[in-house]
Copies of this chain bind each other. A is one copy, B any other.
Amino acid sequence: MKKEIKIGIIGTKFMGKAHTHAFVDAPLFFDLPLKPVLQVACGVDPKATEQFANRYGWKAWDTSSEKVILRDDVDLIDICTPNHLHMPVAIAAAKAGKHILCEKPMANNADDARRMLDAVEEAGVKHMMVFNYRRVPALAFAKKMIEDGKIGRIFHFNAVYFQDWLVDPQFPYTWRHNKQLAGSGAHGDLNAHIIDLARFLVGEFETVCGAEKTFIKERTIAGTNQTKEVTVDDAVSFMAHFQNGALGSFTATRFATGRKNLQRIEIFGSEGSLSFNLERLNELEYYNRNDAAGEQGFRTILVTEANHPYLNGWWPTGHIIGWEHTFVHLVSDFVTAIAKDTPVYPNFYDGLKCQFVLDAVASSIEKGRWIQIPER
């Protein structure tokens, strides 16, 4: 009988559902050294939490994260709460000696993130950030190609993350429009992802310079006639110099009318180039500068072969996978790292480094000039 790893999940909304599914599906498709057990789910509202637990198969439920963290029958705390709660929950979990999986962005600012990193390092627990896009097979394969020298020296990293759910001026005011609660708008939500991917694929940032817009400056509170000021960004663009000399360009926006979840990444290098689009996440565009003359071109690799990352777990070649599979890969790797006591990435250090870039962009917008990224 396989040894178990017992999960306590804090947060039962969109990400609670996605993570739960990942723990259910992971052992079906990957050989895990530990069997994940849906031990206890924790939410704010008792009724909703009970429903969540029943629907998704959690053995128990609670409304106190403190209690859940301290339970002896919980090995791993999975943090799916709103952003400002990541820090207190993570620190408590670290003190309780639990392994920690944490949703992004890591915290509302770098100071909080650094405290979290200190806590997990002191406690010696495993920690992982849910920058799930590192485990899109196409992007994991892109990483491998870069490491294998297929792209050569990287000249450009251009990334956009386009959504459009705020274009409608009737979309109501929520906590997400409040800077104190949400930290930022598209910036922390979407740029966090492409910043992490930039670090994953290119390396460390050196300096950044940004611009932001709030296109609709006030919104109506649902069910009222009252409007409230939107204090977060709707869109943030920024430029970056990387330590290795690459030039970066980034845009995150919730006002890209017609683009639902378009994350597009373009990498140009001395030996080849790569292009990726999250809405077609099974595909990777690759240009090989060393192909025969006249026969060069961007090729569409359908990243569904058994020799592609994670694909041996799934279906025959050509049978595509979806967005939520990235979470299955991530929890599989995390559970395996815990069992084997091996390093796993992105961890809280990666979360902190991402937070540095987010903060530096915000600071550059405030000051109207370029900002250096700190080391730690």
Contacts and interface: CB of A to CB of B under 8 A. Distances in A.
A320 to B, nearest CB: 5
Interface in A229-246: 234-235, 237-239, 241, 245
Interface string A109-151: 0000000000000000000000000000000010001000010
Interface stretch (A81-89, A159-167, A334-342, A350-358): A159-167
Contact of A156 (B238, B255, B315): B255
A302 interface: yes
Interface in A292-342: 293-302, 304-305, 307-308, 314-325
A288 to B, nearest CB: 8
A234 B245 CA distance: 13
Nearest to A270: B167
Interface string A214-237: 010000000000000000001101
A155 B296 contact: no
Contacts of A287: 257-258, 299
Nearest to A271: B257
Interface stretch (A90-98, A191-199, A260-268): A260-268
B298 A261 contact: no
B317 A323 contact: no
Interface residues of A, number: 96
Contact of A302 (B215, B238, B260, B269): B260
Interface stretch (A4-12, A71-79, A175-183, A278-286): A278-286
Interface string A54-70: 01110000000000000
A260 B17 CA distance: 32
A266 B256 CA distance: 9
A215 B155 contact: yes
Most buried by B among A213, A296, A301, A318: A318
Given A258-B296, A286-B295, 10 more contacts: A209-B239, A209-B368, A210-B239, A238-B239, A261-B316, A280-B280, A282-B322, A286-B297, A294-B307, A298-B299
A37 interface: no
Nearest to A287: B258
A49 interface: no
A25 B56 CA distance: 10
